[in-house]
Amino acid sequence: MIKPPPAARDSLAGLAFGDAFGDRWFGILRREGPAALEARILPPEPLWQWTDDTAQALVLLRELAEGDGTVEQDRLALSLAKAYADDTHRGYGASMHDVLRRIGAGEDWRQVVAGQFDGQGSWGNGAAMRVAPLGAWLADDLEAVAEQAARQSEVSHHHPEAVAGAVAVAVAAALATRSRGGAVPARQDFLHAVAERLPVGDVRSGIRIAARMPQRTSVRHAAEVLGSGYRMSGPDTVPYALWCAATHLDDLHEGLWSTVAGRGDIDTTCAIAGGVIAARTGVEALPPAWHAAREPLPPAVSA
């Protein structure tokens, strides 16, 4: 097993912060309404727990360590199923409960995944929300980033748009990693560079629309145009999350506040944005109270 490079560990930490930060807002918004979000009020809670976004990212990072930076699909599928069986209460989506239980029971993951949704496969966000650390790990080779992001997607999300969403997030994290220590990439250029690596389809179209948005576009407008995850699909989530990341590539704190303001599937959008931004910035600049509140990551990948 090889140790993850610093950018991959930073990306994982940013992903976990985004995941835990976003997830707690579901409860806050139910209790206190949007005024708390507009005022950026964070009521104290004993622990910011991360969800399946981070749980699966941990599995993926360990798989890359085991595979010297490559994805061995059979092993990854079984590892995802085991992580689910060990802790089923991390907010997994309904279809993933079925998929991971069946894989864990010994069914071939290829047949299980390909049979989802009348043979179309899931086009949800599970493969995209966990993949940013892979892009940070393999950032020196964008072809490898796209290939391995697609391979890790296929073990749980068969639909081409889910695969495209995962590739988009991984490429964005790779580009953010490449910019570490240098100038902040312009939002339009950054998003166009991501879109260029994607096949024709809804995810690419959404990212190209995001790239064309004027500099002063509000978060609310971007969420309305791009979608912020209410449909829990790749095309409805990834373009918005990457727009948020590209808008705040040098400020993880502001990036997460901006992302959560779009509402929708907020743990997932914040996990994606956090994983991409932190691949460039790390997480050290986040407030000490956030570091104290977030559930720790296992030392094997956080050290």
pTM score, two decimals?
0.95
**What's the burial of 114, exposed, middle or buried (CB within 10 Å: 0-12/13-18/19+)?**
middle
Q: What is the pLDDT of residue 91?
A: 82
How many CB atoms are located within 10 Å of the residue 290 CB? 17
Interval 23-51 mean pLDDT:
86
CA 125 – CA 181 distance, rounded (Å): 30
In a 10 Å sphere around its CB, with 0-12 CB exposed, 13-18 middle and 19+ buried, how is residue 36 labelled? middle
Task: Assign 148 a pLDDT band (cuts: 50, 70, 90).
Answer: very high
Position 162 scores a pLDDT of: 92
pLDDT at 120: 58
What confidence score (pLDDT) does residue 75 get? 96
303 has a pLDDT exceeding 60: no
Name the DSSP class of 181: T
Element (H or E) spanning 269, and its range?
Answer: helix 266-281
Report the distance separating Cα 128 and Cα 297, nearest Å.
Answer: 20
Taking CA atoms, 215 is separated from 141, 211, 219, 273, 284, in Å, by: 30, 10, 11, 18, 27
The domains of the chain, with CATH numbers, are: 6-302 (1.10.4080.10)
Residue 27 vs residues 30, 32, 34, 266, 301: alpha-carbon distances, Å: 5, 8, 11, 11, 29
Query: Binning pLDDT at 50, 70 and 90, where does residue 302 land?
Result: low
| Residue 18 near residue 259, CB atoms below 8 Å | yes
Q: What is the mean pLDDT of residues 100-128?
A: 81
Q: What is the pLDDT of residue 90?
A: 87
Query: What does the pLDDT read at residue 250?
Result: 97
pLDDT band at 117 (very low <50, low <70, confident <90, very high): low
pLDDT tens per residue across span 233-256: 888 999 999 999 999 999 999 999
Question: For residue range 196-246, what is the model confidence (pLDDT) as tens digits?
Answer: 999 999 999 999 999 999 999 999 999 999 998 888 788 899 999 999 999
Q: What is the pLDDT of residue 273?
A: 98
Count of Cβ atoms closer than 10 Å to residue 199 Cβ: 13
